[in-house]
Amino acid sequence: MVERAAAGGGKWVDVGPDRVPRWLENFVTRHGAYTEKGLILIAEDGASAEWRTPPGAPEAATMTDLIREARTPRRLGLLLARKGAVAVGIAEGPELVASKVDTHYVQGRTAAGGWSQQRFARRRDNQAKAATADGAGIVGRILLPRVRDLTALVTGGDRTAVDAILAAPALAPVAALRAERFLDVPEPRHAVLMSAIAGARAVSVLVREPSRPA
C-alpha cells in the first residue's frame, strides 16, 4: 500500500483491488464496526474512510459495487515522463501488453552567465522540445491506434513534461481519457512502467482518524 498526506488532514491510501476486503477487516479491528454511507465509512470511534472509484471504472454506489468494479480487468493507457525520459504502455488488468520506453538527453541547469548562459538555455530548450516531440510520437504509435479500447489514461512522473506531450493536437483523443490520478514515479524505465500498473489500478481511500480529546 502507498500512503500520502491529504490536503485538509488525513491521508490517502492506495489499496490493491484484491486487498480491499482485507483492508476493511483491519479497519474494523482498529476502529470498530462501521456504517456505510455510499462509499464513505464511519467507524464507531469516529474514524472515516472515503473511497474513490479507480481509473477507468464506472462510478460505484456501494462498497460491494466498488470491489467488483476494481477487480474487473480493464485496458488502461500509461504515460510516464520525466525530463527526457518517457515510458508508454497499455495494461490489461495487471499485465503490460504493449510498451515503449525511450530516453532523450536534456542538459541540466548551469550557473554560467552571459552569452554562454543564453546559448546553453537555447540548447536545453531545443533538447526539451525534441524530447517532447519524441514522447508525443511514441504515444501516437502505442496508444492512439487503440484509443477506443482504453478505459482511461493514467499519467505520472513530471506533470509539466506529461502536459507538454499531451498538448500535441493529434493526441487529443488520448488526452481526453486522462484520469485525475497522477503517479509519483522516478525516471521512467521499463521496470518503473511495470510497477506503475499497480498504482494505476489501485483503489484510493481517504482515511481520517477520530478526533482526540484535548
The answer for 31, left when phi > 0, alpha when psi is -120 to 50, beta otherwise, is alpha
The three cell numbers of residue 203 are 483503489
Kindly state whether residues 68 and 81 are assigned to the same domain.
no
Kindly state whether residues 103 and 144 are assigned to the same domain.
yes
Kindly state whether residues 137 and 54 are assigned to the same domain.
no
Q: Is residue 188 in a domain?
A: yes
User: What is the tens place of the pLDDT at every residue in 99-150?
Assistant: 999 986 444 555 455 445 666 556 656 556 767 888 999 999 999 999 999 9
Sign of CA dihedral 98, 103, 104, 108: positive
Higher pLDDT, 23 or 103: 23
Kindly state whether residues 96 and 193 are assigned to the same domain.
yes
pLDDT score for 35: 97
Kindly state whether residues 94 and 194 are assigned to the same domain.
yes
Kindly state whether residues 46 and 92 are assigned to the same domain.
no
Q: Is residue 38 in a domain?
A: yes
pLDDT score for 7: 87
Q: Is residue 213 in a domain?
A: no
Q: Is residue 190 in a domain?
A: yes
Instruction: Specify the number of domains making up the chain.
Output: 2
Kindly state whether residues 85 and 135 are assigned to the same domain.
yes
Q: Is residue 214 in a domain?
A: no
User: What is the tens place of the pLDDT at every residue in 141-163?
Assistant: 999 999 999 999 999 999 999 99
What CA–CA distance (Å, rounded) separates 49 from 64? 15
Kindly state whether residues 44 and 139 are assigned to the same domain.
no
Domain, as residue range, for 23: 2-72+202-208
Q: Is residue 20 in a domain?
A: yes
**Average pLDDT of span 190-202:** 97
Kindly state whether residues 57 and 105 are assigned to the same domain.
no
Q: What is the CATH number of the domain that holds 191?
A: 3.30.420.60
pLDDT over 80 (residue 194): yes
pLDDT score for 105: 47
Enumerate the β-bridge partners of residue 178.
153
pLDDT over 70 (residue 176): yes
